[in-house]
A and B are shown apart, each in its own frame.
Chain A
């Protein structure tokens, strides 16, 4: 059974803290994605990675960074959390072969609250 796991389901942090969200997939997928989900806005792409140590900005990268040191793990970093980063964060992965044909596999999400 294929799996994308995220380190926490719920997280509460204070303004200014550094926050790490971890995502691990066991499908040997090359591509991994971080989205944030807000009501009425759908899923918006923050960053994605198509290989180890490779990354590209998505639509809303400001205030975030990412790290991919191993193929199976993709981390999202909030350098200095702010209240407007309170959101649901979803990680996903997909293969490269087949390109745009492939569906993405999602983790259960992390609901982050920044106080």
Chain B
């Protein structure tokens, strides 16, 4: 069965600290996509990144980086030198290749609080 687990419910850091948000997934599909979304206090989920199951290259975008490891079924998200504006709820999600409707399976979400 498909499942996404974000074991960290809440994380609190001080500005400029690095922080890693964990995501572990389960799927039987060999083709799938993993996503990270950010939900700021305004409520709207914002797409951050997508990764397909055949591409294990790590990705860096500014202060954000993602580590995808199929061997451990993990897709972790690191924020370097965190800022107060990074405070949000972050969701990891899975989309299976066998689905053509774009259905997403979401993790429970991790609330990140960055204190000044």
Residue positions of A touching B, CB distance < 8 A = 9, 31, 33, 35, 40-45, 48, 50, 56, 88, 90, 92, 94-96, 99-109, 111
Known: A43-B109, A100-B96. 16 other contacts (CB 8 A): A9-B43, A40-B9, A42-B4, A42-B106, A48-B103, A50-B101, A90-B45, A94-B102, A95-B102, A96-B102, A99-B101, A100-B99, A100-B100, A103-B47, A106-B37, A106-B44
B46-67 interface with A by 8 A CB criterion: 46-47, 50, 52
Known: A41-B108, A96-B100, A99-B102. A109 touches B9 (CB 8 A): no
Instruction: Give a binary string over B88-100; 1 marks a CB under 8 Å from any A CB, 0 the rest.
Output: 0001000111111
Contact of B101 with A48 in the complex, beta carbons under 8 Å: yes
Alpha-carbon separation in the docked complex, A109 to B40 (Å): 12
- The total of chain B residues at the interface (CB under 8 A) is 31
Q: B9: which A residues are within 8 A, CB to CB?
A: 40
Contact of B91 with A42 in the complex, beta carbons under 8 Å: yes
Contact of A31 with B91 in the complex, beta carbons under 8 Å: no
Q: B6: which A residues are within 8 A, CB to CB?
A: 42
Contact of B102 with A31 in the complex, beta carbons under 8 Å: yes
Contact of A109 with B91 in the complex, beta carbons under 8 Å: no
Q: Closest CB-CB distance, A5 to chain B, in whole Å?
A: 10
Known: A106-B44, A107-B44, A108-B42. A99 touches B100 (CB 8 A): yes
Q: B47: which A residues are within 8 A, CB to CB?
A: 103-105
Q: Closest CB-CB distance, A36 to chain B, in whole Å?
A: 11
Q: Closest CB-CB distance, A96 to chain B, in whole Å?
A: 7
Q: A48: which B residues are within 8 A, CB to CB?
A: 101, 103
Quick one: closest B residue to A45, CB to CB?
A: B103
Known: A40-B9, A94-B102. A100 touches B44 (CB 8 A): no
Instruction: Give a binary string over B17-57; 1 marks a CB under 8 Å from any A CB, 0 the rest.
Output: 00000000000000111010100001111110010100000
